[in-house]
Amino acid sequence: MRLEFIVNDKKRVLEVAADKRLIDILREDLGLMGTKEGCGEGECGACTILLDGKAVHSCLLVAAQMPGRQVTTIEGLEKNGRLDPLQSAFVEEVAIQCGYCTPGMILSAKALLLENPAPTETEIRRALAGNICRCSGYTQIIRAVERAAREGGADI
């Protein structure tokens, strides 16, 4: 099928199979390798992207669901060479170890902050419940989200 959609603010037109998974389209057709696959079944959250501003698992979506939609991947967060406040907060709060969960974690947090710019710890924990981090105990990640909410201002 012919797929026309917006990825990281750019219009993309592709010829793909209707049942090709979004994660494969992003990684294989568009070379956006920041989106990671950890399970392929909606359980780990490593593949999380923003679809029209909401956090979703790109391993569970297929091309046929995508025409006209807006996708943001981790590569699309940096604006004019400046990291998103969430990205800087993750670095500064030492919220990154192996980093495999990081893109998905940041995008789930992004969706939360877009909707709720001043979340409580409980709200953050709930919003990140679909993203597994095997390296940390989530403490630094939660702190990073709190910091981004606090310091991010209009950039979020």
Query: Which residues in this chain contact ligand FES in the complex, by CB under 6 A?
Result: 37-40, 42-47, 57, 59, 96-101, 133-136
Q: Specify the stretch interacting with other proteins by CB under 8 A; choose among 63-71, 87-95, 111-119, 147-155.
A: 87-95
Distance CA 75, CA 56 (A): 16
Both structure tokens of 132: 């597994």
Q: Of 54, 98, 103, 51, give the one whose Cα is nearest residue 77.
A: 103
Name which position in 25, 61, 106, 112 contacts other proteins (CB under 8 A): 106
Residue choice 6, 83, 117, 156 for contact with other proteins (CB under 8 A)? 83
Least CB distance to ligand FES at residue 109 (A) = 13
Q: Name which of 117 and 130 has its Cβ closer to ligand FES.
A: 130
Residue (of 18, 15, 11, 47) closest to 32 by Cα position: 47
Query: How big is the chain by its Cα radius of gyration, in Å?
Result: 15
